[in-house]
Structure 1
Amino acid sequence: MNEITAFNATGAQIQNADTMPHSIEAEQQLLGALLTNNDVYDRVAAIIGAQHFYDPVHARIFETAAARIAKNNLASPVTLKAFLEDDEGLKELGGPAYLVNLAGAAISSFAVRDYAQMIYDLAIRRELIALGHDIAGKAARMEVDSEPKDQIVEAEQQLYKLSEQGQTQTGFQSFLKAVTDAVNVANAAYQRDGGLSGISAGLTDMDKMLGGLHKSDLLILAGRPSMGKTSLATNIAFNVAKAYRRGTKPDGTQGAVEGGVVGFYSLEMSAEQLAARILSEASEIPSQQIRSGDMTEAEFRKFVDAAKQLESCPLFIDDTPALPISQLAARARRLKRTQGLDLLIIDYLQLVRGTGKSDNRVNEISEITMGLKAIAKELDIPVIALSQLSRQVESREDKRPQLSDLRESGSIEQDADVVMFVFREEYYAEREQPSEDRLEEMAAWQERMERLHGMAEVIIGKQRHGPIGTIKLSFEGKFTRFGNLVQPWQQSDDQEF
């Protein structure tokens, strides 16, 4: 066997053939089974490619055989001989006779998938070794334009790409399995007295309209500045984390049976500012008083008690600014692995960075929304991403937002399962106050302000699995809190805000 030497990106030798992880025997068994029975290819193609073979001659044999099979042609020692008889590496191994020996030595094709997985795992180990040496080599070189923090980001991106390779395709599944999954989802809703199949957002009318926050869904929550989109996202995060209860799920696994573990990427506000908002809601002390420290002793005691009650809430905040989508995904995976993860919130979408390969902002946003949808599907959780709206809303008579107001709207609208807009008419009405000498206009304005006070709307502009429409909520600005709005016919009920 010819000796193979591995090199890293800097050209330095890493290890020789004796120490790099590999199994020549597994490669020989897989190739032998493939050349004996071409049907084997369909069972291994989703796991490995030519690049995963350690011996370059084996890689070329697999590549040639795969190309023949893809065209519905026979790949056997006889047919491959014509393509590989001039291959110098194959000549060192005995020429075309080596192909015959491979086919003759194949014991059985039943274990071929195990061989493929073994070859793949060993290839990943070699790539990890090469990446480790590459990182060490770059860190050792003192270069002005190569900052350590940039090297960390680059290393994380390379590891992310490597982890992405490990996702084998699930391929087609039977309709029976799909139907069973659908019945399980419906059963979950039925067990909750016909309520929700997803996680409750803690807001009754929103839950009714959405059916809860569904796994693998990407929900976009958009609004103009000061509409309260961060407040609504914070309220939902708090409601889900507060309701968290762990137990045995219908499928027999352990996890959240109520509420859930929440991951919150706060790219605009610091973790401390976000926590202050949540504490304001929980303690019912205005956030302005918390910021200024203008509290009585009783209020401060109430504030501290609320903080103690929230200590056990499974709400995790990451306030790293300008996170690349690759790091965002990697950190979400890590949180799911270490603490569990049932809901992910990103505040906000336009502050996430792409991979930096595109100079076009629309293409970058498209890459980010596709990445967020991929996270939702891969981790099997709902992902809520906040988004800005364009200024064209302000120039219209009716300020209610619509889908075309989304900034870089094409990809956001396309990838999202649900698009929601937060709208508070009170905000705009406040800025239309007439002068005090115009008595009739002032009286009409005051009547309008009384009607709109403490009211907010969440407009469902798109919902892939349900109706669109408007949800009316209450809004308490001093606590930055959204709540269930008591309708006129519910006034006699003891409904909790």
Structure 2
Amino acid sequence: MSESSFPVSDQEADDGSLSALLRRSPPANIAAEQALLGAILTNNKAYERVSDFLEPEHFAEKINGRVYEAISRRIERGQLADPVTMRAEFEHSGILDAAGGPSYLAKLLTAMVGIVNAGDYGRVIHDNWVRRQLIDIGETVVNNAYGGRPDLDGNDQIVASEEALFKLATERGQEGGFVSFGKALAGAISVAEKAFHRTGDVVGLTSGLRDLDKRTGGLHPSDLIILAGRPAMGKTALATKIAFSAAKALLRDAEDRNEKLRGSVAVFSLEMSSEQLATRILSSEAEVSGEKIRRGDIGQKEFDKFVRASRELQRLPLYIDDTPAISLSAMRTRCRRLARTQGLSLVVVDYLQLMRPAIGTKPDSRVLEISMITQGLKAIAKELSVPVIALSQLSRQVESREDKRPMLSDLRESGSIEQDADAVMFVYRDEYYLQQRMPKDSAYDSNEKFQLATEEWQRKMALVHNKAELILEKQRHGPTGTVQLYFEGEFTRFGDLDIIHD
């Protein structure tokens, strides 16, 4: 029996396939590269057909990439790039030495088929580059899985792989470009028409707060909204109120139209667990103190209200992710997945200083890290066309001032936050600070002075009791100012403040 007639095992077959796979050359089309360079050297107008997406590193043959870079540099300076003008530069730089010297120029001109095909050649070159990048990413994934990055566990490796693919998807060439003013105008008219036919002052998604909606027109797609405040001011309670109100509005709108629900609210709670956040919403809706719920100090009547409210809330399109220290890339992936499966209308992040930048990035400073996070959140808002509300801490310098109302400069690592945000809002409660200044009898040399001070303190407390301010410090598309809100500490909930009754 000849050697070739012996049966081949599955293992040997697999080894052969793998060996053949490893021997394959990476995708490339050198003929297309040479034809494109020849076309540009013959007529520089060919460069205009590829310059918006093709870069020197996209060429498989390094010499061709360097030739393209030299030609691009000359054309961008407004100078002619042809075999005569480029010859001296190539001879001086030695770019063509490895390819046989100036004779390589003649080869490029011979390869040229016509400038009409320049755009097609460019896309072929670019597509091959994308495929080579995918191969590199695949090799990295395999190597990391075999233990190449012991600092990354399995989940981190998945996130890193998704981040690499996303980066490739977004950086593989800008697919946008100019939009005619007529087309942009048609889009603007469409938005205005929807606003005209919609009742009330809300054009975007409602925040559930009447006076805020009047000032902002609701929550608008692609906007990054920063909601900031010092600890105990009620940032999470206010963000929860907005998320809950938006989810209720989405459900109600679908029911009114008798349509399938296509929209949801995503809450990334980096500080509180999903159970704690759900308890807070239930406490607010059932009007049962959250503190009593945690202690189990509730009667049958309160428990029934609690259960009844929970049944009503179960249908809400509200999704909570309580992953601590979630990375920007993981958040982006989960938002995309929710948008694809349920539809996405609003993203709330509590809070951005607890986030991590994209996997694989190592910023040099905390300020740069926060800048990367805010830019990433704005990118999510634009990509998915949803408003993103990100909560933020304020620096302690607020406490050193007599008037403790926040300002833009109080934002921790403020430069990038203020710059990237479309709107910045501060939540402030005078009652919290006044409560800390309650007179103590030991500070007064007579009981009469202590009584007078106590009465004055009680008068001031009565003026600010259950009141909060939402200071709209920045708004790209509308006015700034202060919105007065009602705050009920027992249920940690915000509402509209009715100063003038009908």
The TM-score range, normalised by the shorter chain, is 0.7 to 0.9
Map 1:47-446 onto structure 2 (within 5 A): 47-76=53-82, 87=96, 90-91=99-100, 95-103=104-112, 105-106=113-114, 109=116, 112-141=118-147, 148=154, 151-166=157-172, 168=174, 170-193=176-199, 195-244=201-250, 260-354=263-357, 357-435=362-440, 438-446=450-458
Secondary structure, in 3 states, of the residue corresponding to 1:243?
helix
Cα 1:289–1:246 change in 2 (3 A) is closer
Cα pair 2:39 2:109 within 8 Å, conserved: no
Q: Quote the offset at 1:201 in angstroms.
A: 0.8
* Residue matched to 1:476: 488
Cα 1:60–1:359 change in 2 (3 A) is closer
Cα 1:97–1:398 change in 2 (3 A) is closer
Cα pair 2:56 2:69 within 8 Å, conserved: yes
Cα pair 1:14 1:133 within 8 Å, conserved: no
Cα pair 2:405 2:428 within 8 Å, conserved: yes
* Residue matched to 1:453: 465
Cα 1:363–1:275 change in 2 (3 A) is same
Tell which structure's C-alpha radius of gyration is larger: 2
**Distance between the aligned counterparts of 1:150 and 1:425, measured in 2?**
43
**Distance between the aligned counterparts of 2:45 and 2:252, measured in 1?**
45
Cα 1:340–1:54 change in 2 (3 A) is farther
Q: Quote the offset at 1:217 in angstroms.
A: 1.9
Superposed CA deviations along residues 445-482 of structure 1, whole A, max 9, x for unmatched, are 33333332221110111222222211111112222211
**Distance between the aligned counterparts of 2:341 and 2:50, measured in 1?**
31
**Distance between the aligned counterparts of 1:100 and 1:42, measured in 2?**
18
Superposed CA deviations along residues 376-418 of structure 1, whole A, max 9, x for unmatched, are 2333222211111122222322222222222222222222221
Q: Quote the offset at 1:332 in angstroms.
A: 2.9
Secondary structure, in 3 states, of the residue corresponding to 2:400?
coil
**Distance between the aligned counterparts of 1:98 and 1:421, measured in 2?**
66
Q: Quote the offset at 1:349 in angstroms.
A: 1.8
**Distance between the aligned counterparts of 1:44 and 1:334, measured in 2?**
33
**Distance between the aligned counterparts of 1:442 and 1:318, measured in 2?**
46
**Distance between the aligned counterparts of 2:421 and 2:434, measured in 1?**
31
Q: Quote the offset at 1:152 in angstroms.
A: 4.5
**Distance between the aligned counterparts of 2:326 and 2:265, measured in 1?**
18
Q: For residue 200 of structure 1, what is the amino acid of its counterpart? A: T
Superposed CA deviations along residues 326-351 of structure 1, whole A, max 9, x for unmatched, are 43334333433343322221111211
Q: Quote the offset at 1:256 in angstroms.
A: 8.2
Q: Which ranges of structure 2 fall in alignment gaps of 5 or more residues?
A: 1-18, 442-446
Cα pair 2:290 2:490 within 8 Å, conserved: yes
Secondary structure, in 3 states, of the residue corresponding to 1:119?
helix
Comparing 138-147 with 263-272, greater Cα deviation is found at: 138-147
**Distance between the aligned counterparts of 1:341 and 1:41, measured in 2?**
40
Secondary structure, in 3 states, of the residue corresponding to 2:469?
strand
Cα 1:51–1:187 change in 2 (3 A) is same
Cα pair 1:352 1:368 within 8 Å, conserved: yes
Cα 1:226–1:247 change in 2 (3 A) is closer
Cα 1:422–1:298 change in 2 (3 A) is same
Cα pair 1:22 1:54 within 8 Å, conserved: yes
Secondary structure, in 3 states, of the residue corresponding to 1:132?
helix
TM-score (norm 2): 0.82
Q: For residue 191 of structure 1, what is the amino acid of its counterpart? A: H
Q: For residue 272 of structure 1, what is the amino acid of its counterpart? A: E
**Distance between the aligned counterparts of 2:253 and 2:32, measured in 1?**
43
Superposed CA deviations along residues 283-335 of structure 1, whole A, max 9, x for unmatched, are 33222233233333443343333333333322222222223334333433343
Cα 1:296–1:114 change in 2 (3 A) is farther
Secondary structure, in 3 states, of the residue corresponding to 2:49?
helix
Q: Quote the offset at 1:26 in angstroms.
A: 4.9
Superposed CA deviations along residues 87-128 of structure 1, whole A, max 9, x for unmatched, are 366449x8444212221x33x62x644553443333223212
Secondary structure, in 3 states, of the residue corresponding to 2:389?
strand
Cα 1:442–1:191 change in 2 (3 A) is same
Q: Quote the offset at 1:144 in angstroms.
A: 6.0
Cα pair 1:77 1:99 within 8 Å, conserved: no
Q: Quote the offset at 1:226 in angstroms.
A: 0.7
Map 1:18-33 onto structure 2 (within 5 A): 18=24, 20-24=26-30, 26-27=32-33, 30-31=36-37, 33=39
Q: Quote the offset at 1:29 in angstroms.
A: 5.4
Cα 1:307–1:416 change in 2 (3 A) is same
Q: For residue 413 of structure 1, what is the amino acid of its counterpart? A: E
Comparing 199-208 with 147-156, greater Cα deviation is found at: 147-156
**Distance between the aligned counterparts of 1:444 and 1:283, measured in 2?**
36
**Distance between the aligned counterparts of 1:479 and 1:17, measured in 2?**
67
Cα pair 1:420 1:462 within 8 Å, conserved: yes
| RMSD over aligned Cα atoms | 3.3
Aligned length: 468
